[in-house]
Amino acid sequence: EPEVTQTPSHQVTQMGQEVILRCVPISNHLYFYWYRQILGQKVEFLVSFYNNEISEKSEIFDDQFSVERPDGSNFTLKIRSTKLEDSAMYFCASRTGNYGYTFGSGTRLTVV
């Protein structure tokens, strides 16, 4: 069964450093997403991406965040200057049509 692949599975970074989280969505999917889940809390929407541009972003997705689809397969989330409160599990998801999103296994980001 097709799956969404995320790397790395766990990333530890120093506060203030830049991190790039990588995702390979399912190949025929057209819509791409990043969500995050702080430990013990709900899954929160960050951003959606369609047709090579951001279609929607939440209040969380401030100027420190950016997304890119550099080569037609990868979909990346960059955090420019990480803060302690950015520590969370970050999920990439993709979909085609309206049959629900397929999530990757997540990247656990720990900012120290």
Partner 1 sequence: QKEVEQNSGPLSVPEGAIASLNCTYSDRGSQSFFWYRQYSGKSPELIMFIYSNGDKEDGRFTAQLNKASQYVSLLIRDSQPSDSATYLCAVNLIANDMRFGAGTRLTVKP
**Quick one: which of 73, 48, 46, 50 has its CA closest to 61?**
46
For position 100 contacting partner 1 by CB under 8 A, the verdict is yes
Paired tokens of 15: 């506060």
Nearer to partner 1, 13 or 102 (CB): 102
Nearer to partner 1, 17 or 110 (CB): 110
CB 101 within 8 A of CB 45: no
Nearer to partner 1, 59 or 71 (CB): 59
Determine the interface stretch with partner 1 among 10-18, 22-30, 33-41, 61-69 (rule: CB under 8 A). Answer: 33-41
Element (H, E) at 92: strand 88-95
Q: Which residues in 62-91 contact partner 1 (CB under 8 A)? A: 91
φ, ψ at 86 (rounded to 5°): -80, -10
Question: Residue 71 Cβ, how far from partner 1 at the closest point, in Å?
Answer: 24
Question: Residue 42 Cβ, how far from partner 1 at the closest point, in Å?
Answer: 4
Determine the interface stretch with partner 1 among 14-22, 34-42, 59-67, 77-85 (rule: CB under 8 A). Answer: 34-42
CA dist 26 to 1, 20, 88, 110, Å? 10, 19, 23, 26
